[in-house]
Amino acid sequence: MSGSKLKLAVLISGRGSNLQALIDAAADPAFPAEIALVLSNVEGAYGLERARLAGIPTATIPHKGMGGGEAGRRAHEALIDARLREAGAELICLAGYMRLLTPFLVDGWHDRMINIHPALLPSYKGLHTHERALEDGVRLHGCTVHYVRTEMDAGPIIVQAAVPVLSGDTPDSLAARVLTAEHKAYPLAVRLIADGRTRVEGMVVHIEQRPGDEAGLLMSPSP
Ligand code: GRF
């Protein structure tokens, strides 16, 4: 590991396919970030196994048994915060971390904590995004990587990736298409931040453009 790379901590609760995308991206020596810690609130989460296979330090800090109230949440987050700082984390990546965070952790890592959400925010905050997109009949759906704020799924947007909704799609088939996009969007967002190309101003993330960055038109159905 090189000392000049941005140190990431990835927080997970489950299968960790986005974690895997970050692990794979970081395997490239040219990637400007490295994963210093993978932390789960769920014992036995498969993402922990992915981290171990990649030789990345892991920590499990279960929320169970700490009480569900404000005091329990705060105590749980204090343990997480201490572990993140001990690992020298500089950017926290929430990747399927299925627990709402309180202002203690969110504000403590202001502009240094990002999340991936399976919808094109600000549409479809919350859960069951694919079902809701299908019910609404939208033609484009996708994912968003954003900075975390205390209001859920509401922080400044760094990267979005759109996919078409095809006739005959089910929530599962749409989720699979979005997940493929997530695995590209998350490493890109981390790279932009690690390269110092992002600047947050209010709700807007300004991204330093480079030649060739212009994307083409995305239309669904395609013309
Ligand atoms: C992803 O769909 C992500 O957008 C959402 O939770 C899911 C996590 O999947 N926040 P995985 O654990 O990364 O496979």
What residues are in contact with ligand 1 under a 6 Å CB criterion? 14-19, 95-96, 116-118, 143, 179, 182
pLDDT, residue 54, reads 98
Q: Whose CA is nearest to atom 5 of ligand 1?
A: 96
Q: Tens-digit pLDDT profile for the chain (223 aa)?
A: 456 999 999 999 999 999 999 999 999 999 999 999 999 999 999 999 999 999 999 999 999 888 778 899 999 999 999 999 999 999 999 999 999 999 999 999 999 999 999 999 999 999 999 999 999 999 999 999 999 999 999 999 999 999 999 999 999 999 999 999 999 999 999 999 999 999 999 999 999 998 888 777 888 888 7
Q: Which atom of ligand 1 is nearest to the CA of 94?
A: 10
Q: Whose CA is nearest to atom 14 of ligand 1?
A: 17
Q: How far is the CA of 98 from the centre of ligand 1 (A)?
A: 9
CA distances from 128 to 3, 18, 134, 147, 172 (A): 40, 18, 10, 21, 11
Q: Is 117 part of the annotated catalytic residue set?
A: yes
